[in-house]
Each structure stands twice: as C-alpha cells, then as structure tokens.
Structure 1
Amino acid sequence: MHAQRIKRKLMEEASRPPAPPTHPSRPRSRSAATPLLTPIGPQTRPNGQTYEPRLLGGMEDLAFLRDARDHTEHVLMTGPPGSGKTALAEAAFVMDAKPGVPGLETIVGTADTTESDFLGTFVQDPVTGNFEWLPGPLMRSVLNDVPLLVDEIALIDPRVLTVLYALMDGRGELRIPMNPALEPIKVGPGWFVIGACNPDVPGAHLSDALLSRFHHHFEITTDWDLAADMGVPMDLITVIKNLETRKSKHTYEGWIPQMRDALAFAEAARRYGTAFAAHSLLRKCPAADRDELAKALRTKADYADAAPLALGERSKGSSR
C-alpha cells in the first residue's frame, strides 16, 4: 500500500503542467525545466528487508540519492536512531553490488575513530610475521568507485574528518600518507560521501568546514503510515505520534521510539503477546524517560499494565 501511495503521488506531480517562467527573457530554472526523477521502486537491503521508498521534495528518495551520486553532490542525513538513515543509503545502492564488491562502503564513527580507520593500516600476519596493508573503507570505496557512508559522522573528531575534505572538494585522487609505497588512487564518477547522524546525541558536532562540503542536507523522520502497513499496532503509533506532538511544542524532551523500535515491538507482540512487547519497550527506554513513556503507554487499554521488563518469581514448570 505504501509503495502504491508513493507511485500515485509521483505520477500526480509529474502530470502537472510546468509553471511559466517568471520572465520570458530569462532561462527557466533547472527545477522547472527538468522533470521529476524516474522512481526506482522498493529495494531489498543486504539484510533481506524490503525498503519502501519515500518522497523527498517531490522526488523518490532512492532516485534522489542516485542522482546526487551521479553529480558528485555529497549528502548529509540527520534524524534520530532507527529512523531509517542507514536503510535509505543501503537501499539506494544495493543494486550496484557485485560479487565481492558491495554497492556501498560504510564506516560507523565514534569518538575514537582515527584516520587509519578510514584509510587503512598495516596488519601483521600471525603465520609469517610479515606486515601487510589492510585497506580501510575510504580507500576501498575509491578503489571500487562506490559511495562512502559515514554513519554517526557527528561523533568523529573534526580533525580526523579532514581526511575527507580534499576529496569532497573535487581532488581527483586519494593519497595514503601512512603507506608511501601506494600510488595515488584516481577517484571515479561513482564516488561520493553520504553523512548520517543524530544531531541531538551528546557529543555530536559537525564543523562549519564539513557542513559546507555537503551539497544537500535533509532530515529523516519515521514514516508511521509505512509502520502501520508493516504491522505496527495503531495504538503504539498513536502513543508515539502524541509524544512527537508534545516534543514539537517543547512539552516533552524525552526518548521517542522510532521505526526500528516499533518493528521490534510488533515482532515481540506477534510472538509473545502485546503485554510482553510493552514491557520490553519500556526496559529499552532510557531510565530518565521511562516514567513519561509508561504514562503515555498506559493511556491505551492494551498497555495499561506496562512496566519495565524484569525477571519475576521462579517458573512453576522448573525443576528443583
């Protein structure tokens, strides 16, 4: 149902006549002269899950990412954990995967990420004792001419991220200073950077120098219509939407479940029952926000007894 809604929306927008130019002597803008990008449709991610495309500024998100890649326009995606940032990047380029070569290279950033984590390092062979060069994800992405996803990019020390600056500015080759024996690697037309982060996580920081190198910035929020199509209970979706409304009005600043959490809830409810799923979700919630989430859940009859999941008395079926 979700894919059909997207397709219908795109067809409606594509069928509208183009707006007239503001002045007959001026060239029309690219957006007015160029039709919407051709939709790609649902894609199967490497983990086997199906990604259902969403609209981004009137275009399909998958088609937009591939077009940005084709024009070497780097993209920064922001949003809470579990909202689908990594899923979107994977789905956009999974069709480019070849045997032994993924369609996308990924590095997950932390406060301890170093330049070597991007470029590679020497590793000692335990048998021969010789040191061999092991390429990192940045080097592999350039070698294989595929996009690089820097997940949790805002957690990486800005000084480390300067390793990306020259390439994002259009330098045509990658140099590996820690391995002078390697020749510079030419950067092909299939390489570009996708950054993904949760800007609200403690310690997150992106320098102005890096932000300016991303041509496109957009936020990813959870698609609750899709969640419903995928079996997430409407009662839970209602609770979450109410929390999101409160957050937009600055009356709630706590944790809000996202798509990943909602799908886990739906699977737990299917296998173990709704009560267990609610207990599990509350235990997953950060302790500081647990009381508020419990109050929100208890507004629904099925979650009236919601409490954080914990072991209870000994099972009657157990032996001594």
Structure 2
Amino acid sequence: MSTLGDEMLDKIGRAPASAEPEPAWEDDDGSVVGPSSAVPSTVDMVASLAPQGTQIRPNGVAYHPRSVAGVFEDVALLRSAREHQEHVLFYGPPGTGKTALCEAAFAQDATDGHDGMETIVGTVDTTAMDFVGTFLEDPVTKTWNWQPGPLHLSVLNDVPLLVDEIALIDPRVLSVLYPLMDGRDVLRFPMNPQLEPLKVGPGWFVIAAFNPDVPGARMSEALRDRFEHHIEVGTDWELAENLGVAKDIVAVAQNLDKRRRNGDLTWSPQLRSLLAFARHEQRRGREYALANLLGKTPPEDRDEIHGVLTKTLGEEIDRLQLGKQVES
C-alpha cells in the first residue's frame, strides 16, 4: 500500500541509489558551497515530515489530517514549520477546518511534545493591548495588576500564537508582531516598563487564519510578506461523506462552492455546516435539516440557494420559523 511518504518521494522525484552527488564549489570567500551542502536529501525531507495520523482536539473530536501539495500531511507540515519558525497563513471560507487544524497540531497534552497554543480572535476593535496585555484593577484590593495577553503568554511559554480572523484587525495594530517575526525576536512592553524584554524561544511562531471574502478583510503587504507559507483551506468533500454527510447533499454543496468561487454567491455550506446538517438529519429528519440549512444561508444568497436545493433534491423547502401556538 502506498503511504504518504512514498507519494512524497514520487512527487519530488526519487534519486537513484547510485547517483553521484553534484559537486560543490568554492565561493569568493573561500567557503565550500553547493547543492549537497544547501539542500536536504529527499529521504531526510520525508523523514522530517512523517505523517502524524489522526489527532484529538481539546474538545475530544478527532481531526483527520489532510494533504498539502498532494503529498505533505497538514499536521506534520505545521509542526515542521514551527521547528523552523516559518510563520503560516491560512485563508479560506469559514467552517473549513483552519482553526481545527491548529488545535490538532498544538493544543494537546504536553506528553506528545506539542504542548499548547495561545489564541486571539481578531475584530475591528482589537488593540495592541489585546495582544500584549494591560493593567486591570482588582475589585477587592483596588490594586492594579498586569494581565498578560496571548502574545505575552505565547512568548513566555514558548508556544505558537494563533491569530484568528487576522484580516479584520487594523494593520497598524498588527505591527506589534513585526519585530518578533522578522528576526529581531524580542517582545518589549512599552505599557509596562517594569517588565524585562522577552527573548523569543525556538518553539514560538505565528499561525494566522482569515476569510478573504468577509467584508472589510485586509492585510498589509508588510505583514503578508512575513508569512512564509500561504495555504488555502477548503472543504474536503470526501471527508464530509466519510463523516456521515449524505452523498446528494455533498454534491449540492460542491456545486454551490464552485458558484461561490466564481463570484455568483457570497456563501456556500462548508464542512462545519455539512456536519451540522448530518446531525440534524439523523436526530430530526431531512425536512428539518434542510430547513435549518436554508435558514443559515445569508439573506442575499437565500433565494438562489433555495432554488438549487429545491431543483436538485426535488423537495419543497422553507427556512425554519416559529408557527402558531401548539395546543397543550
């Protein structure tokens, strides 16, 4: 049976066992350089990205790894990026598993060597203090104490920082991350001079996620350029079926997603919505599940999606709404 490692070897290209290494050469300063000294072997590359298998998130739900570039496992790639402090940017519609992947890779027990992650969810009102921390008054003692923010805690504990919905945060606020992402590697506390600057450790790096279609989403080029990996995250339709979503519903969702990508719709049901549909269908029947899905659809897309659902599934659907009083 072919493994992900075998597929990676095939994708990259297997070097013949007897192949001679390319010769090195002397640089102007006398140092010896060349392909063999700069690029890891394919075998080493595969070993460093060995598949990690199914992971359990903090909420107890299993995360099933997906492939990146057709061969790399997402959890393995994310952990490898951390080892090299290569910051990662995920983008895609909500409900596709961006946050779930980050939790699966890092927010676990310390026994597996990936001992936690700090998270901040961005909004248009997020400030630098929300990242670094601020002073809060104790209601009992009336004293002001420093409350560290997720950025402070992530550096202090040498764990990854997840910035969710990063594109909603004012780019001027996000400049607080620049010195830590570009090699200066020191977190300073201008709002609390009593705190000594913190040196970034080998386990710290930034993961960010955003929905490019959300109104007001924006990121500065200065910030985008600091992320070494830019990875689009969509729904794994085969996984949706394997997790119990009806095949005809998955087919409809795929069709709607193509139309969203073409700009005909602003929304289409992704994995999270499909799994919710499957639960409702099992517990309350298909009619209820379809009505709930239609109710979840944004108003600007509702008529269009209603027509697609009705035509494709051959069922009359209306969104959930309360009716008349039930007689007791």
Mapped contact 2:260–2:267 kept (Cα < 8 A): no
1:35, 1:159 → 2: CA distance?
Answer: 38
Equivalent position of 1:27 in the other structure: 35
Equivalent position of 1:106 in the other structure: 119
| Compared CA separation, residues 251 and 82, structure 1 to 2 (3 A) | closer
1:151-189 deviation line (CA, Å, top 9, x unaligned): 000000000000000000122321111001111112110
Equivalent position of 1:224 in the other structure: 237
Aligned length: 307
1:48, 1:290 → 2: CA distance?
Answer: 34
Alpha-carbon offset, residue 96 of structure 1: 5.2
| Compared CA separation, residues 30 and 149, structure 1 to 2 (3 A) | same
Mapped contact 1:19–1:32 kept (Cα < 8 A): no
Matched ranges for 1:28-177 at <5 A: 30=39, 33=42, 34-36=44-46, 37-57=49-69, 58-95=71-108, 97=110, 103-177=116-190
| Compared CA separation, residues 270 and 202, structure 1 to 2 (3 A) | same
Mapped contact 1:44–1:50 kept (Cα < 8 A): yes
1:94-142 deviation line (CA, Å, top 9, x unaligned): 34547xx961100000000000000011111111100111000000000
Structure 2: 5+ residue runs without aligned partners? 24-33
**2:30 aligned with 1:18:** no
| Compared CA separation, residues 191 and 15, structure 1 to 2 (3 A) | closer
> SS at the partner of 1:48?
coil
Equivalent position of 1:206 in the other structure: 219
Provide runs of 4+ in structure 1 moved above 3 Å: 14-17, 23-26, 28-35, 95-98
Task: State the identity %.
Answer: 54
2:55, 2:203 → 1: CA distance?
Answer: 19
Alpha-carbon offset, residue 19 of structure 1: 4.6
2:97, 2:8 → 1: CA distance?
Answer: 26
Mapped contact 2:122–2:168 kept (Cα < 8 A): yes
Matched ranges for 1:238-253 at <5 A: 238-248=251-261, 250=262, 252-253=264-265
| Compared CA separation, residues 124 and 62, structure 1 to 2 (3 A) | same
Counterpart amino acid of residue 311 in structure 2: T
> SS at the partner of 2:171?
coil
| Compared CA separation, residues 313 and 195, structure 1 to 2 (3 A) | same
Structure 1: 5+ residue runs without aligned partners? 1-6
Q: Output the TM-score relative to the length of structure 2.
A: 0.88
1:182-201 deviation line (CA, Å, top 9, x unaligned): 11112110000001001111
Superposition RMSD in Å? 2.2
Alpha-carbon offset, residue 299 of structure 1: 2.7
1:182, 1:195 → 2: CA distance?
Answer: 27
Equivalent position of 2:319 in the other structure: 308
